């Protein structure tokens, strides 16, 4: 009796959580797959097996939208890495006490827990036509007219995404930097390595898994992103997420579902390529 | 004091700029929400008052915020209760090896990294096909759980990793049953962590937008209401609402952090 209970206990314990994921994650995504083959007559969808929806999205517009999404992804990834790495490095190697490291890390983390919408709105008084940046630039005479590209543009979208998601790059890198044995750094220095050599030969390779995890987060966050594109982008800015959202808005579920399946496949492909280059198993 | 290398000062300056980048925009809307009654959406500030902060609580032309706020609070509380219960149970299940644990673990990770629009669309499709109406407390609740549950679960795994099992073994040796061991030994020991995880879960739900946006049904939660306002509100009331809700979230996080620290210190003092 007690032996059986011991073997069954973990299954009983994980049941509630597993049920939630089955109901609200696995089943819905399977349904997207199913519905993507259904027929759509302009008003409602009916169960069927047709490839029309997939053919319907094989257009120049979709291709352009994907290219635009990749552009956002590439720029945001590069910016979060180039800004996030030095920040994580500073916290891990230059802040002396553990209490201070945690406190400063918390300072970086707090905005992440607040509303994304509000964080995007806060850029308006800074970047708008009459915003602080334009007032400043015209004040010192650098520009005669307010710069238009600052808000409601692709530039603003990337800026907004970096602002919103950079913590997802910083946290994993910080985590892997903190795990590096400090004696390795000392050993490299004792053997005569310069600061840059130590960084390139010791610290960077050991923090690569952190970079990989951060990159995976950035990829999954950006690929389906539509809020930033809607709020910060001009009417022209397009992304796959926004496209899907528009199709859902007009109740074209099968078309949206087909798009979503392609999006999922593309996202998985990028993640798999990241995992082939960088091994993250040590971090898990 | 020991002399620091030049790279320290360069990185320190970079870090300060980064913090400014992170908080600068928020500070500008805090300032702009404290303007006089004839204030606008941009600088310079016109006067100084708490007029707009008060306006948030008045009936608005563009909608009112009290009802969405109450909805978000209720939803946050429900999400918190379910998340804590399910994640504590599941992470306790993961303390012993069992067949299929890898699959369950990867399912949890998947919930965290699947593009959020897929969750939203998927739940929307399921409700559409079943003919159920979407609602913030049904489909919306489910969408929130796919976001809060994996985060809480991963934190709970870390907490149980550092948990010393000898207390439980002692209780069991003295003849305590499993439930009794949990209520009298395990729960009191993890209580401060639960407080922290609970508040984090609550704020995640309170501020969630993308996963809820397509499945909230007729009645908006607060973030959705704010999103609707961005297109048609042209007064600092928008900033004032942003200020209030940000201060609310941030204080919950700070309370969680300091309460956790205080409890841990007290426990160490007793030991």
The length of chain B, given as a count of residues: 271
The rounded distance, in Å, linking the Cα atoms of A210 and B269 is 35
Cα–chain center distance at B227? 18
Contact B19 A107 (CB under 8 A): yes
Phi-psi region of A59 (alpha: psi -120 to 50; beta: other; left: phi over 0): beta
Taken in order A191, A195, A201, A202, is the CA torsion positive or negative?
positive
pLDDT digits (tens, 9 = 90+) for A19-78: 999 999 999 999 999 999 988 877 777 888 888 888 888 888 888 999 999 999 999 999
Q: Please give the domain boundaries of chain B with CATH numbers for all domains.
A: 69-270 (1.10.3720.10)
Question: If we measure between CA atoms, which residue out of B236, B238, B148 comes closest to residue B198?
Answer: B148
What is the C-alpha to C-alpha distance for residues A135 and B195, in angstroms, rounded to an integer? 46
Q: How confident is the model at residue A174 (pLDDT cuts 50, 70, 90)?
A: very high
| Residue B221 near residue B68 (C-beta atoms within 8 A) | yes
- Give dist(CA A26, CA A264) in Å, integer: 13
CATH H superfamily, domain A57-283: MetI-like (1.10.3720.10)
Q: pLDDT category, B143, cuts 50, 70, 90?
A: very high
pLDDT, position A9: 86
pLDDT score of A282 = 60
The residue written with tokens 């489910």 in the block is B142
CB contact under 8 A, A226 and B115: no
CB within 8 Å: A18 and B32:
no
* Subunit contact A17:B28, Cβ cutoff 8 A: no
Cis amide leading into B44 (omega within 30): yes
Of A104, A115, A244, the CB nearest to B117: A244
Closest residue on chain A to B207 (Cα): A115
Pick the residue from chain A with its C-alpha nearest to B84: A17
Q: Does A92 have pLDDT greater than 80? A: yes
User: What secondary structure does DSSP assign to chain B, as a single string?
Assistant: -PPPPHHHHHHHHHHHHHHHHHHHHHHHHHHHTT--TT--SSSSP----SHHHHHTTS--TT--SHHHHHHHHHHHHHHHHHHHHHHHHHHHHTTS--TTHHHHHHHHHHHHHS-HHHHHHHHHHHHHHHTPPPBTTTHHHHHHHHHHHHHHHHHHHHHHHT--THHHHHHHHTT--HHHHIIIIIHHHHHHHHHHHHHHHHHHHHH--HHHHTT-BSSPPHHHHHHHHHHH--STHHHHHHHHHHHHHHHHHHHHHHHHHHHHHHHHHH-
Q: Which residue of B115, B145, B182, B198 to mutate against A (max A Cβ within 10 Å)?
A: B115
How confident is the model over B157-182, as a mean pLDDT? 86
More confident residue, A212 or A98: A212
- Which residue from B133, B256, B160 is spatially nearest to B206, judged by alpha carbons? B256
The rounded percent of chain B whose pLDDT value lies above 90 is: 22
Q: Which residues of B touch A83 (CB under 8 A)?
A: 18
Closest-approach residue (CA) in chain B for A195: B7
Taking an 8 Å cut-off on Cβ atoms, the answer to whether A24 and B143 are in contact is: yes
pLDDT surpassing 70 at residue A281: no
CB B200 within 8 A of CB B70: no
Q: How large is the average pLDDT for residues A161-175?
A: 93
B42 to A125: CB separation less than 8 angstroms, yes or no: yes
CA A236, CA A214: separation in Å to the nearest integer? 29
| Residues A51, A38: Cα–Cα separation, whole Å | 8
- Across the interface, of A94, A122, A220, the residue whose CB is closest to B29 is A122
Closest-CA residue of chain B to A12: B93
Residues of chain B in contact with residue A94, where contact means CB-CB under 8 angstroms, are 4, 7-8, 11-12
* Interface contacts A/B by beta carbons within 8 Å: 246
Q: What is the mean pLDDT of residues B84-97?
A: 91
Task: Dump pLDDT digits (tens) for B194-231.
Answer: 888 898 899 889 888 888 888 887 888 888 888 887 77
Averaging pLDDT over each range in A152-166, A236-250, B29-43, B150-164, which range is the top one? Answer: A152-166
| Chain B residues close to A21, C-beta within 8 Å | 107-108, 111, 146, 149
Beta bridge pairs of residue B135:
B217
Q: In whole angstroms, give the CA distance from residue A107 to residue B124.
A: 36
Q: How confident is the model at residue B63, as a pLDDT? A: 62
Nearest-CA distance A60 → chain B (Å): 22
Q: Is the pLDDT of residue B233 over 90?
A: no
How many Cβ atoms are within 10 Å of B21's Cβ, its own excluded? 14
Alpha carbon distance A161, B196 (integer Å): 27
Chain A residues whose beta carbon lies within 8 Å of the beta carbon of residue B93 = 9-14
Q: How far is B44 from chain A (nearest CA, A)?
A: 9
């Amino acid at each position: 009796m007690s032996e059986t209970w011991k073997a069954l206990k973990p299954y009983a314990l994980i049941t509630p959580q597993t049920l939630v994921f089955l109901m609200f994650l696995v089943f819905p995504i399977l349904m997207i797959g199913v519905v993507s083959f259904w027929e759509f007559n302009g008003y409602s969808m009916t169960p069927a097996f047709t490839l029309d929806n997939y053919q319907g999205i094989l257009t120049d517009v979709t291709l352009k939208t994907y290219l635009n999404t990749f552009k956002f992804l590439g720029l945001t990834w590069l910016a979060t890495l180039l800004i996030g790495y030095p920040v994580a490095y500073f916290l891990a190697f230059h802040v002396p006490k553990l209490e201070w490291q945690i406190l400063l890390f918390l300072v970086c983390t707090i905005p992440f827990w607040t509303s994304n919408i509000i964080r995007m709105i806060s850029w308006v008084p800074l970047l708008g036509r009459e915003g602080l940046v334009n007032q400043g630039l015209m004040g010192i005479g650098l520009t005669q007219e307010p710069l238009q590209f600052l808000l409601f543009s692709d530039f603003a979208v990337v800026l907004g995404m970096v602002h919103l998601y950079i913590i997802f790059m910083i946290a994993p890198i910080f985590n892997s930097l903190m795990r590096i044995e400090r004696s390795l750094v000392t050993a490299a220095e004792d053997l005569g390595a310069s600061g840059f050599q130590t960084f390139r030969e010791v610290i960077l390779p050991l923090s690569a898994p952190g970079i990989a995890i951060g990159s995976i987060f950035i990829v999954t966050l950006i690929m389906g992103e539509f809020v930033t594109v809607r709020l910060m982008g001009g009417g022209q800015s397009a992304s796959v997420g926004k496209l899907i959202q528009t199709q859902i808005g007009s109740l074209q579920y099968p078309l949206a579902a087909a798009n979503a399946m392609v999006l999922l496949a593309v996202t998985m492909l990028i993640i798999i390529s990241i995992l082939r280059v960088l091994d993250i198993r040590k971090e898990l | 004091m020991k002399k620091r290398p030049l790279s320290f000062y360069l990185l320190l300056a970079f870090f300060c700029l980064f913090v400014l980048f992170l908080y600068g925009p928020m500070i500008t809307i805090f300032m702009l929400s404290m303007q006089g009654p004839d204030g606008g959406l941009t600088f310079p500030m016109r006067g100084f008052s708490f007029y707009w902060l008060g306006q948030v609580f008045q009936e608005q032309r563009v909608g009112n915020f009290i009802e969405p706020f109450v909805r978000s609070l209720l939803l946050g509380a429900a999400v918190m209760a379910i998340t804590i219960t399910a994640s504590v149970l599941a992470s306790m299940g993961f303390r012993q090896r069992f067949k299929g644990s890898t699959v369950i673990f990867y399912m949890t990770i998947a919930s965290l990294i699947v593009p959020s629009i897929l969750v939203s669309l998927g739940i929307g499709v399921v409700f559409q096909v079943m003919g159920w109406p979407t609602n913030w407390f049904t489909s919306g609740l489910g969408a929130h759980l796919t976001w809060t549950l994996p985060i809480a679960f991963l934190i709970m795994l870390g907490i149980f990793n550092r948990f010393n099992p000898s207390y439980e073994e002692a209780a069991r040796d003295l003849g305590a049953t499993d439930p009794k061991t949990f209520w009298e030994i395990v729960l009191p020991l993890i209580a401060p962590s639960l407080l922290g995880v609970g508040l984090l879960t609550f704020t995640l739900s309170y501020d969630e937008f993308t996963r809820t946006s397509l499945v909230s049904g007729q009645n908006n939660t607060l973030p959705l209401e704010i999103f609707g306002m961005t297109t048609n509100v042209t007064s600092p009331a928008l900033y004032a609402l942003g200020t209030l809700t940000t201060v609310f979230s941030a204080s919950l996080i700070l309370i969680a952090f300091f309460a956790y620290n205080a409890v841990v210190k007290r426990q160490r003092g007793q030991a």
